[in-house]
Amino acid sequence: MIRNEIIDAMLARKSLRRYEDRMPSDEVIETVVRAGQQAPFAAQLGSVLLSRGPKNVPFGAPLLFTICIDAHRLEAIMAKRSWPMVTSDLPLLLFGFQDAALMAENMVMAAESLGMGSCFLGGTPFRADEVIERYELPRRVFPLVELTIGYPAETLPPRPRFPMDFHLFEDKYPDFSDADIEEAARVMDEGYLAQDYYRKAKAMVKLEGDRAETFNYDDYSWTEHMGRKWGQWFPSPDVLLEQLEKCGFELRGPVRDSDADSDRPG
């Protein structure tokens, strides 16, 4: 592989849950957010909320950023040109997911370049009502992900990833053989077991239903963890749809009354 400072920082990136008791300067904060702004976007649909810790911030981190999908701001700009929002909420949110996620990743890499670390908190969309109350959010703003950032108080290895031939597909998506799947699972499971990741985190997902527990922390690893999460959690979309509705986004109701003849995405 080609290596340089940027690639090395990307390859070394990992989630941090222990931070020094040191507050980044306002200049550092502005730099991180400005780098986030410069990510590719569909309509600058990402906006950023900030809380300073360590009190009431996960892991005692000095900074908690909440990256939002912000249609409220876009609609205010459109109204200045006498344009109503005609696009339905599904494509608007899909583009918003892209804008906000790319912004968050730019912020992570900017923080890494300044000697800091971070951790994504992916459950934020399921607590949108709490974020609305905390920040007094207007309608049409949806919190996509929270991001803790600060100076690291722990040294961790990067986490394993799938083998490249299980990840990069040229010209055609492959038909995976059993051997392909088993090798990818082996790489992930052995990698996490070598780091003793789930034992240290005490992160074994509890079994639901009548499945008998056959794992312990000697053999519980990534593939079983993923199976338990996505094989048990959120079988109905209603929880997330309710959170979106609290933010003013409607995905299961009628199309807006506005005349919308075009299906063009942008």
198 vs 204: CA distance, rounded Å: 7
CATH class of 5-156+237-246: alpha beta
Is the Cβ–Cβ distance between 230 and 121 less than 8 Å? no
pLDDT over 90 for what percent of the chain?
A: 94
CB atoms within 10 A of CB 86: 14
Per-residue confidence (pLDDT) for residue 252, from 0 to 100: 82
Per-residue confidence (pLDDT) for residue 255, from 0 to 100: 53
- Mean pLDDT value of segment 185-212: 96
Per-residue confidence (pLDDT) for residue 256, from 0 to 100: 54
Distances (CA, A) of 253 to 96, 231, 241, 248: 19, 28, 11, 12
pLDDT higher than threshold 50 for residue 262 = no
Report phi then psi at 149, rounded to 5. -140, 140
Indicate the angle between helix axes 26-37 and 89-113, nearest 10 degrees.
Answer: 140
Per-residue confidence (pLDDT) for residue 246, from 0 to 100: 96
Q: Each residue of 196-233: b (16+ CB within 10 Å) or e?
A: ebbeeeeebbeeeeeeeeeeebeebbbebbeebeeeee
Domain ranges of the chain: 5-156+237-246, 164-230
- Mean pLDDT value of segment 52-73: 97
- Mean pLDDT value of segment 160-185: 97
Is the Cβ–Cβ distance between 145 and 121 less than 8 Å? yes
| Each residue's pLDDT tens digit, 79-102 | 999 999 999 999 999 999 999 999
What's this model's pTM, rounded to 2 decimal places? 0.91
| Each residue's pLDDT tens digit, 19-30 | 999 999 999 999
Is the Cβ–Cβ distance between 221 and 203 less than 8 Å? no
| Each residue's pLDDT tens digit, 31-45 | 999 999 999 999 999
Nearest CA-CA partner of 15 in 63, 52, 59, 70: 59
| Each residue's pLDDT tens digit, 151-167 | 999 999 999 999 999 99
Nearest CA-CA partner of 156 in 127, 121, 126, 195: 195
Q: Where are the beta strands (DSSP E) in 81-225?
A: 117-121, 141-150
pLDDT higher than threshold 70 for residue 78 = yes
pLDDT higher than threshold 90 for residue 68 = yes
